[in-house]
Structure 1
């Protein structure tokens, strides 16, 4: 029996090694074997009964040969690219946002920073330099952690993957250089720690939307579906390593994919062939604000501390001393939070930095604004004094823009400790 197909299709071949083949060329089926006439993408995960899955492929992210054809690939799909090489839009922002809500979208976040922390003392070092408890994590696990100043003012949230030979940190493009410099500053002579900015040696994609799990299953990566946030495993694309993890920058759902630039074009095309809608950075920023994920230079600045930003899930309250720990402990012990971050549904466009007013008194500041999914919708993020407004309350932003205070998904899933009744406000 023989059959042909001229469109992008996916075929799963079951055997001792699981493989995904994807190509845009003609395929022939003969006796259960797929023969292709052009280069085929193979996403392969080796299995062994005696070796744990996360230890199958030692993955230390040594800089690969650069063969970066990703930008050419996305250009052919209508992408508008900035002078810095950031994919701004595919001209489909509305469709991409709808896919993030109801289907699945793929986003190239290769402009985000990636920092590799290696050396025998890497876990203890990060444990002391950020808010999460790294000592309880094991290879193949991950977490969010926050870099703060000694007075607990926020610098950035980092998503961390614990690998066999290193910890990989994903941070904002705005803070990557400063965090790398800061970490190097705190590496002392006897410390066995190395800090490396690997942003240019890697690419990062994220998959968002309720159909993300199905895409993973169709790519034979279903073993990650249902795993804890931050769980990650290593695979191979045409012999090149790729790490796939649970969750993405703005949500515990979806997935993140870290790979060599040489593999990026093939992986991107494979995601789109599975029905993922491409999303550019403009729509991603809109989604960030709507979901309520704080960003450096906006919600994460020297004006606000990590608890006011609501980043409770990234903070260990019972580990030993770390930078900012004394301030955080005092704020919790004495219920010292004066303001908190909220979403605000607005009646009109508003400028970030505009005052938030209640009964003629300034009670906060707008930090981010975006046009909503409809042209008549306007949405922002802002800090408001706890005693002056709660969810559902009406505020004024700027001179005469009406706002309604609302909870946002990213902050709603944070789990603060049980404090006094007023502190949960």
Structure 2
């Protein structure tokens, strides 16, 4: 970003600065990276609760009699089969099967859907949906300015939110959303998240964001709620084995290459963008698996980073996509694509080339961390 371009602040910008947050450029947004210790923020989410500003995410509303048909054509999932109030994790792909973005889509009404894209890909997704809407009786609307998004994540999050809403949170299953009121603020209350913990994402008008943040902060004070930045969000999602676009996902990979072929619904009615290429990718994955996404746990203390080579017997067998010190495991961890012959948990002799030194790593199944339910 050139110095002449201004970073976009969220509605909570003044709150973050008053809390002493370290701010960073994230996809053109001025976002809180951390407020203090990112390790302390991470541990708070795992053991108590954390409060996140996620207003950089890209919201796109699709409405109209053929909204479901459009999304079934434009995306790889079966959105037409989603009930009102349900959310689906899905992807939008190119005609060659390459992943443009991974998405969460909420069905708000029979003819209304909310598509939530990653900040860095929001314009790409918007443009693709508009292009693919030709011939469908449906409207694609850019709603990035219509929402602020606040998440409360962690084992104490249900109790914190219950203090502020009369919505039926006990009846709100994972990957569902319902309209309600939180601290007097109208919100879409979604039981979703990117941390591996129970939690909620609250979509509200930007003008209500500060009041909602303050109410959640006060309600969570006794439960150990702390504000959390993007840095700990990344370590939390990595421990939970959740992919990040630009790291585990890209246009160079199909969902089958990423081990996420389950999101592609060939059985749905009608054609969809990328169907033929994705069928070929599915057949390839079934016969000769490509590189497989695995977990790596360090035997030592050196931290692998994206792009580092995974090695075995002097040969390059893969590449790290994400790496970090794991507060929960107490050791460095990484996700990496490795040749299928070396992908089984416990495969001996696997290491990561860290600046010329081949550091030993254990191959493990993902995720590294799974919460107790």
Does TM, normalized by the shorter one, top 0.5?
Answer: yes
Could you say if the C-alpha distance between residues 92 and 160 of structure 1 is closer, same or farther in structure 2, counting changes exceeding 3 Å?
same
How far residue 178 of structure 1 moved from its aligned partner, in angstroms, is 0.9
- 1:338 aligned residue (286, 290, 311): 290
Q: What is the aligned partner in structure 1 of residue 50 from structure 2?
A: 105
- Asked if the contact 1:293/1:411 (under 8 Å) is kept, the reply is no
Indicate which of 304, 325, 332 corresponds to 2:275: 325
CA contact (8 A) 1:244 1:255 kept: yes
Classify 1:68/1:364 alpha carbon distance in 2 versus 1 (closer, same or farther; 3 Å): closer
Report SS of the residue matched to 1:201.
Answer: coil
Shift of 1:201: 2.4
Give distance in 2, aligned partners of 1:350 and 1:248.
25
Alpha-carbon distance change, 375 to 211 in structure 1, aligned in 2, over 3 angstroms: closer
Which residue of 361, 377, 394 maps to 2:315? 361
Is 1:161–2:106 an aligned residue pair?
yes
Q: Which residue of 1 aligns with 2:20?
A: 78
CA distance in 2, matches of 1:163, 1:375: 38
Deviation string for 1:248-298 (max 9, x for gaps)? 135473111101111111111122222221110111122222222111111
Q: Assess if the C-alpha contact under 8 Å between 1:368 and 1:380 holds in 2.
A: yes
Matched, 1:236 2:188: no
> Normalising by the residue count of structure 2, what TM-score does the alignment of the two structures yield?
0.84
**Among residues 340, 347, 358, which one is paired with 1:393 in the alignment?**
347
Alpha-carbon distance change, 332 to 226 in structure 1, aligned in 2, over 3 angstroms? farther
Distance 1:339 1:411 in 2: 22
The more displaced of 386-395 and 143-152 is 386-395
**C-alpha separation in 2, matches of 1:256 and 1:178:** 23
Structure 1 residue 98, shift from structure 2 partner: 0.7
Q: Give the gaps of 5 or more residues in structure 1.
A: 1-66, 414-425
What residue in structure 1 maps to residue 5 of structure 2? none
Please, what is the CA RMSD of the aligned residues? Answer: 2.6
Q: What is the aligned partner in structure 2 of residue 404 from structure 1?
A: 362
Verify the 8 A CA contact 2:154 2:197 in the aligned structure 1: no
Contact 2:165–2:182 (Cα < 8 Å) also in 1: no
Q: In the comparison of the two structures, how many residue pairs are matched?
A: 346
**Take 1:162 and 1:371, find their aligned partners in 2: how far apart are those partners?**
37
Task: Report what 1:213 is aligned to.
Answer: 158
Moved more, 263-272 or 403-412: 403-412
